[in-house]
Amino acid sequence: MAQQFSSCADTSTPTTFSVKGATYVKVLTWHFTTTPNSTQLAFEVVNAANGISIPCSLQNVEINGQWGDDSNYWYSCSDRSLTVDEKEYPVRTNAHIIWDDWKLTVNQTWDCGGESAVRHISSATLAPTCQEFPGDFQYVSNCEAPDLEAAATTQESDISY
């Protein structure tokens, strides 16, 4: 159940995002064309301003020797809702990763009844510990990053039609 607030302003104060349970897996296969090479980063993000916990999973695949160019791509995380004045409002959370630098950016927005929109955005660099498992037919890299908390900036705007 979503946390209760009496107004949208209650949730637009400066905040932090917590990133928890970050796990990364990279799988490269040889001699098999039916299984594409892939990378995946999964984690939970919690916004301290609204208390909403969101699971996220970011994935890229290699097809025909080319990794997808996701340098400007924002992955959608799970949908949740925020309760304000006993009304439910959708909360949209997106994440962007620069794979080589482990730089993660989280963007969370919600609209409080058409009166204003709130956006929180935060970036942090993950510091994973990785294990590699090379094999004759497959290479696997498994990484886990410690939990972290990062400051988020707040942008609130009036919605005009």
One-letter amino acid of 78: S
Would 122 be classed as within a structural domain?
yes
Give the separation between CA 145 and CA 38, rounded to whole angstroms.
Answer: 19
Local confidence band at 66 (pLDDT 50, 70, 90 cut-offs): confident
| Structural domain containing residue 139 | 4-147
CATH code assigned at 73: 2.40.350
Assess if residue 30 is contained within a domain: yes
Which one-letter DSSP state was computed for residue 8? G
List the one residue out of 53, 49, 52 whose CA is nearest residue 12: 49
Task: Let me know if residue 18 belongs to a domain.
Answer: yes
Residue 104 lies in a domain: yes
**pTM of the full predicted structure?**
0.84
Residue 93 belongs to some domain of the structure: yes
- The per-residue DSSP string of 75-108 comes to EE---EEEEETTEEEEEEEEEEEEGGGTEEEEEE
For residue 47, pLDDT over 70 is answered with yes
**What are the distances in angstroms from CA 111 to CA 16, 84, 88, 108?**
19, 10, 10, 11
In a domain, 161, yes or no: no
d(CA 52, CA 44): 10
110 falls in which pLDDT band (50, 70, 90)?
A: confident
How much is the pLDDT for 161?
31
Q: How many domains would you assign to the chain?
A: 1
Q: How far apart are CA 92 and CA 119, in angstroms?
A: 9
CB 16 within 8 A of CB 94: no
- For residue 158, is it within any domain? no
Check: CB of residue 65 under 8 Å from CB of residue 36.
no
